[in-house]
Amino acid sequence: GEGVVRRDRFSGGPARGFMSSLAADERIFAADLAVDRAHVVMLAERGIVEEATAGEILAALDEVETEGHAALPDGEDVHEAIETAVIERIGPDGGKMHTARSRNDEVATCIRYRLREDLFEAIEATLALRKSLVEAAEEEVETVMPGYTHLQPAQPTTVAHYLLSYEAAFARDTARLLDAYDRTNRSPLGAAAFAGTPFDIDRERTADLLGFDGVLRNSMDASSARDFLLESASALATHATALSGLAEDLVLFSNKGFVELSDDYSSTSSIMPQKVNPDTLELVRAVAGDAASGLSGLLTTLKGLPRAYNRDLQRATPHAWETVDIVSEATAVAAGAVSSAEWPAETLETAAGEGFSTATGVADALAMAGLPFRTAHEVVAAAAERADGTPDLATLDASAEDVLDASLFEYVSRSDVEQALDPVASVESRDSAGGPAPAAVAAQLEEASAD
């Protein structure tokens, strides 16, 4: 029709499809509309675009929004396609929307605008997971279980102490994501291609309209910087790595009957009728691989990029989306698995007494009676070697005779040794700050709930 300009800026030849990010840009469709609106409002306020034209552009953007991303004309990317759609509606004046900016600052702004939302979701997922750990821990303060080092029974602990160990790690993940959010939340808009603009724009105003905390000072940095993607992906990969440890533990524990995962988080075998497998948590465990790959995709794409904008940056963005999506999902799934899991107290307590996991406690009892810890360690190690499993009092005493030339009971009472050999008493005795004794765990629970 009249006034409609048909442009074919996006030629691209045979590489047309290869060059276009339009499909992937669906993710920033809403962000681009927000950025366009803020920019146009600022241009009108500064008298750079007439108010009537700005009004027409804003109305056209509303229509574009209603019709959706799928209805956009073909283009190199969503920015170009939306501009084309606006021009199709209101004529060449629609092109005034792109005054005093470039797609370089535009896309950087869109990514930051959208990522804020996604980081929020990821942060909320870590909070929900931590809540599920705290709530499960509250129920299991007295539930004694074996603690492991090198996959071998090491010392008895409690389920609450174990669960809160992950809550503590995930609390740092939340903090890292919040840090990434803070640096993501800065506006590059107005940097234009990289070299600013002669128009009398107000960068603070668009930053404000878009809810950013401020602007990125240097325009060359603003249009090129993607370290906010690296930082976000790194925080997510760090979280996914900790999460994979929790998932691995739960897989191992469910294998031993130490934890009962809800059927909602288990699956059956298509051939072996007796099987109930912890597939959900195996997938959670695997997500650390996705996140590491997203982070490494970003690192390798961004490495060595010269100033200023280079089209490589278009291929960096999807790594961030994929990483944030899968890690948030895995975090939410893990929270559900934790909330619905049961911890069979009797099985756990029996297991906690196996493999002489109370050995350290016996050595501690001897050391508390005045023996140098190294000597106490020697006595108990000799007994461990003699006994098959947990040594009885006679075996411990025989080892003391060997090592010390004296009876064990010259140092400690029988009842002290019996206490030390009991996994429940052993846990109760380890009440140092941060330790597994119910009193020490109560303090940790209080702090974790307050966070």
Catalytic positions: 150, 269
* Integer Cα distance of 276 and 410 in angstroms: 53
Establish if 429 lies at the interface with ligand ARG (CB under 6 A). no
The answer to whether residues 349 and 144 touch, using CB atoms and an 8 Å cutoff, is yes
Token duo for residue 301: 């794409």
Provide φ and ψ at 430, rounded to 5°: -90, 75
Site string for ligand ARG, 313-332 (x = CB under 6 A): xx--x---------------
CB of 106 to ligand ARG, least distance (A): 7
Nearer to ligand ARG, 107 or 235 (CB): 107
CB of 198 to ligand ARG, least distance (A): 19
Considering only 60, 82, 97, 104, the residue that binds ligand ARG (CB under 6 A) is 104
Nearer to ligand ARG, 72 or 240 (CB): 72
Token duo for residue 356: 């002489």
Nearer to ligand ARG, 104 or 165 (CB): 104
Nearer to ligand ARG, 104 or 426 (CB): 104
CB of 205 to ligand ARG, least distance (A): 23
Counting residues that bind ligand ARG (by CB under 6 A) gives 10
Determine the interface stretch with ligand ARG among 85-93, 99-107, 166-174, 285-293 (rule: CB under 6 A).
99-107
The CA dihedral of 234, 236, 240, 242, to the nearest 10 degrees, is 70
Establish if 225 lies at the interface with ligand ARG (CB under 6 A). no
CB of 75 to ligand ARG, least distance (A): 10
Could you say which DSSP state residue 70 is in? G
Establish if 107 lies at the interface with ligand ARG (CB under 6 A). yes
Site for ligand ARG in 15-44 (CB under 6 A): 21
Among 76, 77, 73, 74, CA closest to 31: 77
CB of 79 to ligand ARG, least distance (A): 6
DSSP bridge pairs for 146: 156
Q: Which residues contact 314 (CB under 8 A, 6 or more apart)?
A: 21, 77, 107
Other C-beta atoms closer than 10 Å to the C-beta of 392 total 13
The CA dihedral of 406, 409, 412, 416, to the nearest 10 degrees, is 150
Establish if 166 lies at the interface with ligand ARG (CB under 6 A). no
Establish if 6 lies at the interface with ligand ARG (CB under 6 A). no
Q: Which residues contact 3 (CB under 8 A, 6 or more apart)?
A: 90, 91, 92
Among 160, 158, 219, CA closest to 349: 158
Residue whose structure tokens are 């996006």: 10
Among 21, 122, 156, CA closest to 79: 21
Phi-psi region of 154 (alpha: psi -120 to 50; beta: other; left: phi over 0): alpha
Q: Which run of H or of E encompasses 153?
A: strand 152-158
Nearer to ligand ARG, 77 or 231 (CB): 77
CB of 315 to ligand ARG, least distance (A): 8
Nearer to ligand ARG, 128 or 305 (CB): 305
* Integer Cα distance of 147 and 162 in angstroms: 8
Q: Which residues contact 248 (CB under 8 A, 6 or more apart)?
A: 281, 285
Site for ligand ARG in 285-314 (CB under 6 A): 309, 311, 313-314
Establish if 397 lies at the interface with ligand ARG (CB under 6 A). no
Establish if 376 lies at the interface with ligand ARG (CB under 6 A). no
Nearer to ligand ARG, 39 or 430 (CB): 39
Other C-beta atoms closer than 10 Å to the C-beta of 278 total 22
* Integer Cα distance of 191 and 385 in angstroms: 71
Other C-beta atoms closer than 10 Å to the C-beta of 258 total 19
Establish if 11 lies at the interface with ligand ARG (CB under 6 A). no
CB of 104 to ligand ARG, least distance (A): 5
CB of 103 to ligand ARG, least distance (A): 4
Establish if 103 lies at the interface with ligand ARG (CB under 6 A). yes
* Integer Cα distance of 111 and 34 in angstroms: 12
Nearer to ligand ARG, 20 or 426 (CB): 20
Nearer to ligand ARG, 313 or 440 (CB): 313
Token duo for residue 52: 């009537």
Establish if 157 lies at the interface with ligand ARG (CB under 6 A). no
Q: What's the one-letter identity of residue 9? A: R
CB of 111 to ligand ARG, least distance (A): 8
Establish if 109 lies at the interface with ligand ARG (CB under 6 A). no
Q: Which residues bind ligand ARG (CB under 6 A)?
A: 21, 77, 103-104, 107, 309, 311, 313-314, 317
